[in-house]
Amino acid sequence: MNWSETLCFSPTDLQRFGEASHDRNPLHLSADYARKSPYGGQVVFGILGGLACLARLGDRPEEHLTSLTLDFPGAMLVGIPYQIEVKETAEKAIAKLYDGRRLLLKLTARFEAGTAVPIELEDGSAPRLDCRYLVPDDLKAGSTVSGQYAPSRGAFDTLVQSDTLVAKGISPAQLAALLWASYLVGMELPGQQALFSKLSIQFETVVTATYPGLEYTAAVTSFDDRFNLLQTQARLTAGNYLFAKAEIRAFVRPASPVPRQEKFEQLLPASLALQNKVALIIGGSRGLGAAIAQALVSQGCTVFVNFYRSLAEAEALAEELAEAPGKLKLLQGNAADLGWCQTAQETILQTYGRLDFLICNACPPILPLWLEPSSIERVNQYVAQSLGLMSVPMSVFLESLAASGGRNIVISSVYASQAAPADLPHYVAAKYAVEGLVKAAASEYEAVSHLIVRPPKLLTDQTNTPLSSQGAIAPELAAVKLTQSLLSVAEPGQVQVLESF
């Protein structure tokens, strides 16, 4: 039997799964936390994706599950319609979850004749209420965790019944073991920084009974620091009986890179070279924007930092720069909103009477997409959103820049002049569009100097994964280069390009 259908996960789905499994990892349950990850939004629990695939298998009333393998080559996100393809035979089922042509999940389930032994678990809990925060030095081969686990009964029963999973030859205790795997990865090994990569689990026969929970022992078998990949082996027992053996892989996501002022002191000595200059950075609370703010303030500049939701990061940046030669002011709001930009312009001009630098840095989260029917709407939406974060501020602030003989700076990408990855058509198209906009603006606003910045891949939240971070440079380096460019004389009406880093 072969067939396919579409599936979409909601925040409610994640909340229900988290309640049932005791997996409270913020990458899945906190929209604010997840927005600052490389994925730009809440990531669906890998096991929840696996359960959704299992629920779409055919009924197997005279069979029971003996083993299950789940591979997660890509992250699933909330609100995106995915396609499930299912292939089944008498003894095996394979399900695959796709985002267009990109494989996100592969499930392989094996079955045998006969019904599963109906063991029961009491309503239970898990050892931890908060995620462990482990770093590579904590993940030594042989390190172990152990405890007793049972899912939250009410939420678990709702989860089982809503998907009719038991009819697929999967017992409630086996489903509990799958939820335990999510708990183990998201809460204990490796915990908060986890991204599930693979689960292989084999089930054994257990005597019929009611047990307080599943006793587990999990041991680190290896940690590959080239890819931050953790491998774990685990055993689950019910009473005195071995219930399941599991092998688990999970990536350990690096901590978010945060530019620090002491790094700039080595690259760009503090001065008053930009004293009496006023700058506005669109998207300046994190990543490259924060680094640019630090570099400009170190040179005596007064910098207004726009941010939309990253209040904690913006306030931390302001606190760090409290004693710097320049000043940092915070302006919260959506820079793609015309009304906000006009209000911000009034604030800046009423306070300082001028604007010398407009630096448009903000862009939506960069996720892989392809030019294909299933994703073309998201491609077009991304281009529109990204361009709006550049075009709306420029439409408002270019007049102010013209009055002061100031500079209009936009952050583009090296992909606007070099070969572009096939999975970033939306990002590349947006950067080409904004560069065209700058060139047109140069013809209209001849008193303004224009600078297009094409940095290489930077180590920011957008690229902060073991694979994506390879070859990335520190944003401090790009910020210093940009600031040094602003210290030099520019010719009004001309468009310069900075792409040597």
- pLDDT, tens digit (0-9, with 9 covering 90-100), for 218-243: 999 999 988 899 999 999 999 889 99
Phi/psi at 184 (5° precision): -60, -50
- Residue 392 in contact with residue 337, Cβ under 8 Å? yes
Same-domain check for residues 321 and 375: yes
Structure tokens, 297: 């303030």
Task: For residue 164, name the pLDDT band (cuts at 50, 70, 90).
Answer: confident
Same-domain check for residues 272 and 243: no
> How do residues 258-278 score in pLDDT, each as one tens digit?
766 677 778 899 999 999 999
Same-domain check for residues 420 and 305: yes
Domain holding 267, by residue range, is 261-498
Task: For residue 464, name the pLDDT band (cuts at 50, 70, 90).
Answer: confident
pTM: 0.90
> How do residues 294-330 score in pLDDT, each as one tens digit?
999 999 999 999 999 899 999 999 999 999 999 999 9
Scan for tokens 């009333």, then name that residue.
Answer: 61
DSSP state of 7: E
Same-domain check for residues 177 and 301: no
Same-domain check for residues 318 and 406: yes
Average pLDDT over residues 75-96: 94
Residues 6+ apart with CB under 8 A from 317: 284, 285, 290, 293, 294, 305, 328
Same-domain check for residues 435 and 354: yes
Structure tokens, 177: 């073991």
Mean pLDDT over each residue of the chain, to the nearest integer: 92
| CATH at residue 138 | 3.10.129.10
> What does the pLDDT read at residue 161?
78
Same-domain check for residues 286 and 149: no
Q: State yes or no: pLDDT of 389 exceeds 80.
A: yes
- Residue 234 in contact with residue 216, Cβ under 8 Å? yes
Same-domain check for residues 403 and 287: yes
3-state secondary structure of 156: helix
> What does the pLDDT read at residue 501?
86
From 192, 227, 252, give the residue that closes a domain.
252
Same-domain check for residues 332 and 183: no
CB atoms within 10 A of CB 494: 12
Q: State yes or no: pLDDT of 144 exceeds 70.
A: yes
More confident residue, 352 or 463: 352
- Residue 221 in contact with residue 232, Cβ under 8 Å? yes
pLDDT more than 70, % of the chain: 97
Give the C-alpha separation, 21 to 154, whole Å.
11
> How do residues 45-74 score in pLDDT, each as one tens digit?
999 999 999 999 999 988 999 999 999 999
Distances (CA, A) of 336 to 33, 395, 437: 22, 11, 15
Same-domain check for residues 441 and 344: yes
Scan for tokens 């709001």, then name that residue.
Answer: 333
DSSP state of 146: E
How many CA atoms are closer than 13 Å to the CA of 493, on its beta-carbon side?
A: 4
With b for 16 or more beta-carbon neighbours within 10 A and e for fewer, the 63-74 pattern comes to bbbbbbbbbbeb
Give the C-alpha separation, 307 to 332, whole Å.
5
What is the domain count for the chain? Answer: 2
Same-domain check for residues 217 and 294: no
| CATH at residue 486 | 3.40.50.720
CA-based nearest residue to 19, from 120, 156, 214: 156
Same-domain check for residues 294 and 214: no
CA-based nearest residue to 407, from 268, 278, 300, 292: 278
From 204, 219, 252, give the residue that closes a domain.
252
